[in-house]
Structure 1
């Protein structure tokens, strides 16, 4: 089994829990992934802009060999975001057209994006039940005093935007805590994307399945990443 990450929802998904305030995406915030059945962006294709738990719905299951995209897309070789597979990965840049590596071609069965549905670089967090962003999800842009069905079930996370988020090992923003800032920055023209990837809880120094609540801002003495001015930057237009 492979898990892929494309750096670059048909909303019938039942595996999402949200804590968020609605917003409106700007014209420069169009997130998409166009998957092609042939190499070099040829053949049958489909443009994804939302979560897709089963690519067979659009006749693209185990079909894609190349793509173009904007945003941070997570690709899986099983339906419903691969809750039980191993941890092989393929990586692509946030703004890219290209062929997928041979071991990643013709094997994607579900996909979703990380980050806010309202703006590409809005402040946001995604929490996942599996390591490397697999399985069920809790996501939001506001404080969460508890994580609903993902209580004591978080094994990886992604933050996007320039705000820090503080994660706690007890409900109601109590217990041990750690603050996470985005530590990667990509820019392409007028579009920016800041993010941090935490593939397992070891990176945070927390036990697996210990996160129980979330607060906006850096409210902990333990900090992963740094505020925006000190992020390392990569220009995707080069």
Structure 2
């Protein structure tokens, strides 16, 4: 279903002769449901679902984009070992795993808000996309999460180069990370320092594109949805 939806978007653009004549981007959106089928449609992060009267109530979600749900408020920042769940796709719907039913307290998306498959990279201070977050869409000579990155989500069709030094200096090491599928621009998930092949807590700068001989593939469990309980 995911590939079909992407194909439909491409056909719309072709029939309109060019993407400049029609909006080919797909914004991030998440529909969440509780056990009574009450529905909430979200287009931005929510650091505390209690504000929507939806804390510890979500049982099902439909994702357009890449979304992460967290057991605690503020994206498990105060509890890096807390449970979370993530899902990506175009109108991809799932019931939350039994162990995560009615446990979500915060949520956020990864990638560009206005186009979930635009080229970008999300950096996180803890594994499993927990804690502080930094979103980058272009070459960055010094990142805010300098030497703090422990997980990454790559969005779009292109790879990125991570450097251990500032200003794209590869003297202390570099690594290319990329999407899980370049042809359909599906996100690449790197959930831990281990998946970053020694670059965990060592990243200082990034460039869009692969300029390093060393590459790390997204994890083999890079499914449309996954939970860490």
* TM-score in terms of structure 1 length: 0.74
Q: Is residue 2:186 matched to residue 1:212?
A: no
Q: Is residue 2:143 matched to residue 1:142?
A: no
More helix per residue: 2
The answer for unaligned runs of 5 or more in structure 2 is 1-21, 225-229
Cα deviation digits, residues 124-150 of structure 1 (max 9, x gap): 0000001110001111111111112x1
CA distance in 2, matches of 1:69, 1:52: 15
Considering Cα pairs closer than 8 Å and 6+ residues apart, tell me whether 1 or 2 has the greater RCO. Answer: 1
- Runs (4+) off by over 6 Å: none
Note the C-alpha offset of 1:167. Answer: 0.4
Q: Counterpart in 2 of 1:159? A: 154
Q: Counterpart in 2 of 1:110? A: 106
CA distance in 1, matches of 2:182, 2:105: 28
Q: What RMSD over aligned residues (CA atoms) do the two structures have, in Å?
A: 2.4
C-alpha spacing 1:90/1:53, structure 2 compared with 1 (3 Å): closer
Work out whether residues 120 and 193 of structure 1, in 8 Å CA contact, stay in contact via their aligned partners in 2.
no
Q: In the comparison of the two structures, how many residue pairs are matched?
A: 195
Q: Counterpart in 2 of 1:183? A: 180
More strand per residue: 1
Cα deviation digits, residues 168-222 of structure 1 (max 9, x gap): 1111111310011212479xxxxx5421111112122124311111111100001
CA distance in 2, matches of 1:67, 1:92: 9
Q: Is residue 2:116 matched to residue 1:120?
A: yes
Note the C-alpha offset of 1:67. Answer: 1.9
Q: Is residue 2:50 matched to residue 1:56?
A: yes
Work out whether residues 72 and 82 of structure 2, in 8 Å CA contact, stay in contact via their aligned partners in 1.
no
* TM-score in terms of structure 2 length: 0.77
Q: Counterpart in 2 of 1:36? A: 33
